[in-house]
């Protein structure tokens, strides 16, 4: 082998080994949920170096949409590729990203206690099993469509838990979901005789939490996005929410309108800006000794 080829080979091997050393990891997990009475699935993104760093990380909970699963953000949303790139570029800090699975709209609906399971089972489980900092300043939450609806409800009801949030095409429809929304056919909102429960929707939707949120001191900066051709008028509903929150947190409820509909194309395009927005407020990883 010539000296030139040896040099090229050495460089290639260095790059290959460096890539392996810096590889992130996506895995799938389950644990028993008392609230659900069954196993709770979630997909987990661990950043480059998690296993060797000795650090405790910020954590972002990323919620899927109606009739979705914990794997959607990885298989359809390019989560791993986008997070890897943004961490490598220094645009977001290394973070653990938890993508839970729900058979509901992240509410205690007619089919399951998804809200209770998320708050009382999933969050404590993650903070016990994985190296994340169990404090508000290290927790973010985001979601798409029904997951955006869940995100908004969680941060308005429990603002002491999350330092920042993002809702992509949030299905937080007011006063009721449009006729073409899957909320009207989802078991979470269907009565035993298969009718859409409008009263339950209104009891659980974000306006029910708005007055108490506006009356307290916590502020949860919230990034909103939606497509300009969204068939559910997500832009209009997001603007209504933005106007309601702007008094409490001026300049901290940006709304980005993208070209597109209620589709993964829009959500993939929104994910990077959403992560970057939340990262302005999330604290960076800490030494495990400092946390304990």
* Count of structural domains, the chain: 1
Q: How confident is the model at residue 4 (pLDDT cuts 50, 70, 90)?
A: very low
Q: Are 105 and 66 in contact (CB under 8 A)?
A: yes
Residue 143's nearest CA partner among 72, 38, 202 is 72
- Residue 195's domain is classified under what CATH number? 3.40.50.1820
**Minimum mean pLDDT range among 20-24, 35-39, 109-113, 272-276:** 20-24
User: 26 has which bridge partners?
Assistant: 45
Q: Is residue 1 part of a domain?
A: no
Task: Give the list of residues 6+ apart from residue 231 with CB closer than 8 angstroms, or none.
Answer: 180, 261, 262
Task: Give mean pLDDT, residues 54-66.
Answer: 97
Structural domain that includes position 115: 22-284
Q: Is residue 149 part of a domain?
A: yes
Q: Is residue 105 part of a domain?
A: yes
Q: Is residue 132 part of a domain?
A: yes
| Cα(47)–Cα(280) distance, integer angstroms | 18
Strand arrangement of the beta sheet that strand 139-144 belongs to: 25-33, 38-46, 96-100, 59-63, 139-144, 164-168, 222-227, 255-258
Task: Give mean pLDDT, residues 153-176.
Answer: 98
Q: Is residue 67 part of a domain?
A: yes
| Cα(161)–Cα(166) distance, integer angstroms | 14
pLDDT of residue 292: 57
Q: How confident is the model at residue 289 (pLDDT cuts 50, 70, 90)?
A: low
Q: Is the pLDDT of residue 266 over 60?
A: yes
| Residue given tokens 């009801």 in the structure block | 157
Q: 224-263: per-residue pLDDT in tens?
A: 999 999 999 999 999 999 999 999 999 999 999 999 999 9
Q: 106-156: per-residue pLDDT in tens?
A: 999 999 999 999 999 999 999 999 999 999 999 999 999 999 999 999 999
Q: Are 200 and 143 in contact (CB under 8 A)?
A: no
| Cα(30)–Cα(113) distance, integer angstroms | 17
Q: Are 173 and 183 in contact (CB under 8 A)?
A: yes
Q: 182-225: per-residue pLDDT in tens?
A: 999 999 999 999 999 999 999 999 999 999 999 999 999 999 99
Q: Is residue 2 part of a domain?
A: no
By CB atoms closer than 10 A (0-12, 13-18, 19+), residue 267 is buried
By CB atoms closer than 10 A (0-12, 13-18, 19+), residue 37 is exposed
Q: What sign for the dihedral angle of Cα 262, 267, 268, 269? A: positive
Q: Is the pLDDT of residue 13 over 90?
A: no
Q: Is residue 29 part of a domain?
A: yes
pTM of the model: 0.91
Q: 95-131 in b/e burial notation, b at 16+ Cβ within 10 A?
A: bbbbbbbbebbbbbbeebbbbebbbebbbebbbeebb
User: 39 has which bridge partners?
Assistant: 32
User: 45 has which bridge partners?
Assistant: 26, 97
pLDDT of residue 288: 72
Q: Is residue 260 part of a domain?
A: yes
Q: Is the pLDDT of residue 1 over 90?
A: no
Q: Is the pLDDT of residue 39 over 60?
A: yes
């Amino acid at each position: 082998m010539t000296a030139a080829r040896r040099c090229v080979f050495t460089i290639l091997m260095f790059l290959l080994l460096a890539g392996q050393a810096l590889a992130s990891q996506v895995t799938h997990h389950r644990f028993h949920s008392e609230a659900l009475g069954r196993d709770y699935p979630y997909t987990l993104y661990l950043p480059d170096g998690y296993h060797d760093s000795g650090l405790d990380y910020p954590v972002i909970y990323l919620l899927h949409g109606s009739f979705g699963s914990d794997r959607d953000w990885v298989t359809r949303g390019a989560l791993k590729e986008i997070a890897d790139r943004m961490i490598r570029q220094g645009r977001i800090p290394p973070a653990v990203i938890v993508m839970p699975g729900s058979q509901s709209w992240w509410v205690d609906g007619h089919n399951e206690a998804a809200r209770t399971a998320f708050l009382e089972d999933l969050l404590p489980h993650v903070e016990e099993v994985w190296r994340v900092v169990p404090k508000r300043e290290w927790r973010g939450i985001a979601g798409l469509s029904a997951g955006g609806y869940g995100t908004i409800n969680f941060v308005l009801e429990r603002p002491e838990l999350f330092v920042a949030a993002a809702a992509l095409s949030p299905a937080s429809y007011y006063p009721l979901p449009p006729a073409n929304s899957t909320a009207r056919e989802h078991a979470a909102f269907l009565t035993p005789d298969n009718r859409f429960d409008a009263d339950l929707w209104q009891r659980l939707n974000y306006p029910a939490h708005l007055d108490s949120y506006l009356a307290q001191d916590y502020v949860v900066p919230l990034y909103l996005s939606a497509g300009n051709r969204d068939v559910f008028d997500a832009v209009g509903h997001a603007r209504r929410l933005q106007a309601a929150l702007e008094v409490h947190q001026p300049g901290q409820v940006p709304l980005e309108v993208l070209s597109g509909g209620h589709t993964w194309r829009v959500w993939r395009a929104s994910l990077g800006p959403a992560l970057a927005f939340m990262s302005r407020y999330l604290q960076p990883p800490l030494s495990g000794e400092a946390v304990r």
